Amino acid sequence: MSIQTAASILAGALFGAALTASAVYFPAVITSQMYLQDFHMLKVFLVASASSALVVPTLSALGLASFAPRSPSTIQLFSPYDANIIGGFLLGAGMMISGACPGTVFPQVATGISSGFFTLAGAVLGGILWTGYGFKLKIAPSSAPAKMASSSPPTLQSQLKLSRTQALVAYEGVCLALVLFITFLGPQTSLPPTIPIVGGLLIGGTQASSLLLTTNPLGTSSSFEEAGHWFWYTWQALTGSDQLKAALKKPSTRSMTFVCGVMVGSWAFAQLATEYLLTGRTLDESSSISALNAFAGGCMMIFGARLAGGCTSGHGISGMATMGVASFVSVASMFAGGIGLAACLGQN
C-alpha cells in the first residue's frame, strides 16, 4: 500500500467517523428534515459548513493548503447556473426518496442499515449513467460564454463587493443565527441537542485532515463517477477492438479509496460507540425506505450531484467554505428539491 493510498484511507476514515458521530446518516434524520419535522440534519450541515469555512482560509493563510471555488455548471437552458439548479433539485429529491446523501450512504452500509445497500447500488448505476451518457449534457468551460469561462468562479464577496473577511464574518453570523433559531424555536428532536453541534464541528474539522493528508477538499459523489468510468473501461476492454483496447487508460481510484476509508471509519466508530448511537437507531426504526425507493433515489441523487458538479459535502462543506456562488445555488436547490418533493408526497 502506497503512502498516498494510506493517507486517503485515513482521511476518509476520519470523515466517516465524524459523519457517524453526527448521527446525520440515519434515513429518518434525512427524510424528517425534508418533511420539516426535525432539523437535526440542517444543524449538522450548518455547523459543518461554517467550521469548514474557517478551516479553509486558515490553511490557505498558513500556506498549507488551498483550493478554488467551484465553477458554475450549465447546460445553457435558462441560466449560467441551470445545471447547478436542476442537478441540485435531483440531488435533493433523491435524498428525500432514499433517506441518504452521497456521503451518508457509506456509513449506512458500514453500520448495516438495510436501505443503504440498495441506495449504494442505485448510486453506482447513477455513476454509470452519468459517465456513459449524462456528462454530455454539461457545457465545457471552453465552450461556455466568455463571462462563464472566466478563470475566477463567482464568489459571494465578488458579487456583493465585500472583502473575503467580510463575507466570511457574514456567513458565520448567518449560520450561528440559524443554528440558535432552530435549537430554541424549531421542532424538538429525540436526539441530544449537543450531537449536531459536536458532529458538525467534527465534520468541518475533517476538512483540514482531508486537505493536509490528500490535498483534496471533502467530496464523495466523484467516487461514483470513478466507479462509472471503471465500468465503461471494463466494458470497452472486454468488447472493444484491439485498437481501442490499446488506447484505453485506467481511470483514477482516488475518490473510491477515500470512501473506502469512510466506511472503515464509520464502522470503527459504530463499534466503539454503540450506546451513543442507540437513540438514533431507535429513531430510525420508524423509517421505512423500500428497496425500490432506495435504489431509485440513489441513482437520482448521484446523477443530480454530478450534473450540479458536487454533492452535500463537495458543495455544502467544501464549496460553500470558499464562498462560491455555484455551491450556494446547488445547496439551495438541493433543499428545495427535497422539501418540495416531500410537500408533494404529503406527511410521512
Q: Which residue's C-alpha cell is 434515513?
A: 27
**Single-letter amino acid, residue 136:** K
CA atoms within 13 A on the CB side of 214: 26
Q: What average pLDDT does the structure give for the chain?
A: 90
Average pLDDT over residues 169-194: 88
Q: Is the pLDDT of residue 149 over 60?
A: no
pLDDT at 240 (0 to 100): 77
- Residue 171 pLDDT level (bands cut at 50, 70, 90): very high
Q: Supply 312's cell numbers.
A: 452535500
Cα–Cα distance between 68 and 323 in angstroms, integer? 10
300 compared with 1, residue with greater pLDDT: 300
Q: How many CB atoms lie within 10 A of CB 193?
A: 13
Q: Which residue's C-alpha cell is 471533502?
A: 218
* pTM over 0.95, yes/no: no
Backbone CA torsion sign across 216, 221, 222, 224: positive
Q: Tell me the residue length of the chain.
A: 348
Q: pLDDT tens digits for 43-82?
A: 999 999 999 999 999 999 999 998 899 999 999 999 999 9
DSSP string, 124-191: HHHHHHHHHTGGGGSPPGGGS-TTTS-SS--BHHHHHT--HHHHHHHHHHHHHHHHHHHHHHS---SS
Average pLDDT over residues 103-125: 96
The helix, strand and coil proportions of the chain, stated in percent and rounded to the nearest 5, come to: 70, 0, 30
Cα–Cα distance between 26 and 113 in angstroms, integer? 8
Report CA-CA distances (Å) from 313 to 101, 138, 188, 191, 317.
9, 21, 25, 22, 5
Residues 6+ apart with CB under 8 A from 204: 47, 48, 49, 50, 51, 52, 53, 54, 55, 317
Q: pLDDT tens digits for 248-299?
A: 788 999 999 999 999 999 999 988 876 555 555 555 544 679 999 999 999 9
Angle of the 194-214 helix axis to the 254-272 helix axis, nearest 10: 140
